[in-house]
Amino acid sequence: MTVTWARRIAAGLLIAAWLVLGAVLVGWHAFDDDEFQHAHLAWAIAHGQVPYRDVFEHHLVLYHVLIGPVAAWCGNPAAVFVLRAVSWLCGGIAGLFAVRVARRYGVDPLITGLVAVVMAAVPMIGFKLAEARPAVPALLCCAFAIDYATRAAINWRRAAVLGAVLGTAILLSQKMVYLAIALGAGVTLTGGLAAAIACLLSAMTVGGLYLAAMAGWGCLAPFWEFAVMMNLHWKRSFSASLYVNEWFRSAPLLLAAAIPGLAHLHWRRDAVLVSAVVGGAAMVVLVPVPFRQAFLPLAWVVVVCAAIAIAQSQALWRSPAVAATAVLAACAALGLQHQAQWQTNASDRAQLAAITERFPVGPVFDGRGLVWNREALGFYPIMHEGIALMLDADRYAAATIAELEAAWPPVIADYRVAKMPAAVQSFLADRYRVDGAIDGLLVPGVVVPRSQLRRGTVVTIPVAGAWRIEWTGGPLLVDDEVVRESSVVALTVGEHRIRAQGFVRDVVLRLEHIDAP
C-alpha cells in the first residue's frame, strides 16, 4: 500500500468517525433546555412575530433569523434535529479551519484532524457542538477569522473583512465579544493602527446594521431593555471552576499537550493565535454564567496548540505501536466518560409525541418550551432562574395566571415550573390535575366533594372539550344523563349539574382534549 493510499484511508476514517459521532450525538443525546428556547424564537420570527416586542428574548437574534426558515419549513418538533445537524456541520467546518491554521506551523493535517475528532469526543465539548445553539455558528465565524488573519499579512482591507466577521460572531452570540476584543488586539499588533481602525469600523458597521434592523422592526426600545440592559445587570452568576475541573478531568492529555504548543508561540509573531488563547480564556472567566458552551473557542485553540506540540514530537509518533496505544487509550477513556455522562432524549421525544398527538394545536405551558413549534402562552415562552431573578415575581405570577385562565392549556410539570412563584404553584394545585396517560402532564381538572353529590351540585367547566370523569361507587349523572365510570363526555364552557345515585366518592373531571376553535 502506498503512502498516498494510506493517508487517504486515514483521512476517510477520521471523516467517518466525525460523522458517526455526530449522528449519535445529534440523534440521541439528551436535549439542552436552551435548544427549545432558540428553536421557538426562530419559529416565532419566521411566523411574523417581532423579537423582544412580541416574544421575550435576551439574546441577539441573528442566529434565529438565519435558521427561522428551517424551523418554519420543517413545521414539526423534529426540526430541532435539523438545527442540531447544522450546528454539527458548523463545528466540522471550524475543525477544518483548525487544520489549515495548524498546517502553517508545519503540522500534518491528519494529526490536527485526529486531535479535533478526539476533542469533539470529549463529552462537555461534543455535547455542545451537537446542540441547536448560536454558539457553534459563532465559533465557526471566529475560526474563519483566525484562519483568515494568519493566512497573509494584515492590511486595512483584510482587517475590514475580519471586523465584519467578528461583528457577525458577536451578533450570533454576544458572549463572543471577549474573544472578538482579544482578536482585535491581535490584529492591531500584527497590522498596526490602520488595520485596527478598519477592523473596528467594520465591526461597528455590522452592529449598526443590526440596530437599523431593530428600528425597522419597531423593537429598538425593548431590544435595548432585554438584550442590553438586562444582560448588563444580570444577577445570576457562578464560578467557572466547576466546568474547568470537568474539562481537566475529561481531556487531561489534550490540555497537557497544548501547553508546549502554546509555549511554541511568540506573542508578536503569532499575535492572532495568542490573542485567541487570551480571548477564549477571558470568555470562560468573565462570562457571568460560563456553561459548557463558553469553552468552545478555547477548545478550538487547544486543538491547534496540541496539534503543534504533537507534530514537534513526530519521532515518538512515527512508531505505529505508540500511536495505536495512544489512540486506543484515548478512545477507552472517552468511552468511559460518555458511559458515565450519557443521557438520551428518549423521554422528551416520547412526551413530545404524546402531547402533539393529543393536543395538536394551542399552547402548552412549561418552563422549558418543549413544544417549541407553536404559539407560546404569553410573552415569556420559557422561564429559568436567571430570567426569574430579573423580573418582578408578583407581576409575572399575575400575568401567567391570567394567561392560564384565558387558554387553559396542558401544563408540563417540569423542574422549571416547580420553581415558579408560589401563586402560580397554588393555581396549578387548585385548578389542574395530574394526567393519567402522559407522564409529567397536568390538565385542567375539577374535584367534586362527596358531601355535595347526594343532592347534586353545579361545577363550572373552564374550557370546552372532552372531559374524562372518574369516581368510585354508584351511578353518576351529568346534566341528568347517566355516565359510565372513566368515560369521556363532551362538555361546554359553563355550569354543569352533577348528581350521584347512591354512595359515590372521589369524583374527578380531567380534560382529555380541547375542542378545536
Mapping DSSP onto H, E and C, the string for 13-68 reads HHHHHHHHHHHHHHHHECCCHHHHHHHHHHHHHHCCCCECCCECCCCCCHHHHHHH
Other residues' Cβ atoms within 10 Å of the Cβ of residue 279: 26
Contact 232, 224 (CB under 8 A): no
Question: What was the pLDDT predicted at 253?
Answer: 80
Residue 34: what residue type? D
Contact 276, 302 (CB under 8 A): no
Q: Residue 336: which pLDDT band, with cuts at 50, 70 and 90?
A: low
**Mean pLDDT along residues 481-504:** 88
Which comes out higher in pLDDT, residue 173 or 515?
A: 173
Instruction: Say how far apart CA 71 and CA 339 lie, in whole Å.
Output: 32
Over pLDDT 90: what percentage of the chain? Answer: 71
Contact 364, 355 (CB under 8 A): yes
Dihedral pair phi/psi, residue 213, rounded to 5°: -65, -40
Worst-scoring range by mean pLDDT, 168-172, 231-235, 287-291, 334-338? 334-338
What contacts 24+ positions apart, CB below 8 Å, involve 5-12?
7/110, 10/110, 11/109, 11/110, 11/113
Q: Give whole-number Cα distances, 312 to 106, 304, 321, in Å.
A: 9, 13, 18
Instruction: Say how far apart CA 16 and CA 3 lie, in whole Å.
Output: 20
CA angle 111–115–120, rounded 5-degree value: 150
Other residues' Cβ atoms within 10 Å of the Cβ of residue 262: 19
**3-class DSSP assignment, residue 264:** coil
With b meaning 16 or more CB within 10 Å and e meaning fewer, what string describes 284-301? Answer: beebeebbbbbbbbbbbb
Q: Residue 1: which pLDDT band, with cuts at 50, 70 and 90?
A: very low
Residue 10, all three cell numbers = 486515514
Other residues' Cβ atoms within 10 Å of the Cβ of residue 211: 12
Q: Residue 249: which pLDDT band, with cuts at 50, 70 and 90?
A: confident
Answer yes or no: is pLDDT of 151 > 70. Answer: yes
Cell 431573578, located at residue: 389
pTM assigned to the model:
0.92
Question: What was the pLDDT predicted at 6?
Answer: 77
Answer yes or no: is pLDDT of 211 > 80. Answer: yes
Question: What was the pLDDT predicted at 487?
Answer: 86
CA-based nearest residue to 416, from 428, 402, 433, 434 = 428
CB-facing half-sphere around the CA of 296: CA atoms within 13 A: 31
Phi-psi region of 122 (alpha: psi -120 to 50; beta: other; left: phi over 0): beta
Question: What was the pLDDT predicted at 223?
Answer: 97
Answer yes or no: is pLDDT of 39 > 80. Answer: yes
The helix or strand, by DSSP H or E, that contains position 304, with its residue range, turns out to be helix 296-312
Q: What is the mean pLDDT of the chain?
A: 90
Cell 385548578, located at residue: 431
Instruction: Say how far apart CA 281 and CA 178 lie, in whole Å.
Output: 9
Over pLDDT 70: what percentage of the chain? Answer: 93
Residue 80 CA to chain centroid, in angstroms?
10
The helix or strand, by DSSP H or E, that contains position 213, with its residue range, turns out to be helix 193-217
Question: What was the pLDDT predicted at 473?
Answer: 85
Answer yes or no: is pLDDT of 183 > 80. Answer: yes
Contact 57, 132 (CB under 8 A): no
Instruction: Say how far apart CA 512 and CA 509 lie, in whole Å.
Output: 9
Q: Residue 337: which pLDDT band, with cuts at 50, 70 and 90?
A: low
The helix or strand, by DSSP H or E, that contains position 472, with its residue range, turns out to be strand 465-473
β-pair type (487-491, 465-473): antiparallel
Residue 348, all three cell numbers = 422528551
Answer yes or no: is pLDDT of 371 > 60. Answer: yes
Answer yes or no: is pLDDT of 46 > 50. Answer: yes
The gap between the terminal CA atoms of the chain, to the nearest Å, is: 69
Residue 353, all three cell numbers = 409525541
Write out pLDDT tens, residues 54-94: 999 999 999 999 999 888 877 688 889 999 999 999 999 99
Write out pLDDT tens, residues 400-457: 999 999 999 999 999 999 999 999 999 999 999 999 889 999 999 999 888 787 778 8
| Eight-class DSSP state of 367 | S
Contact 512, 466 (CB under 8 A): yes
CA-based nearest residue to 137, from 162, 111, 114, 170 = 170
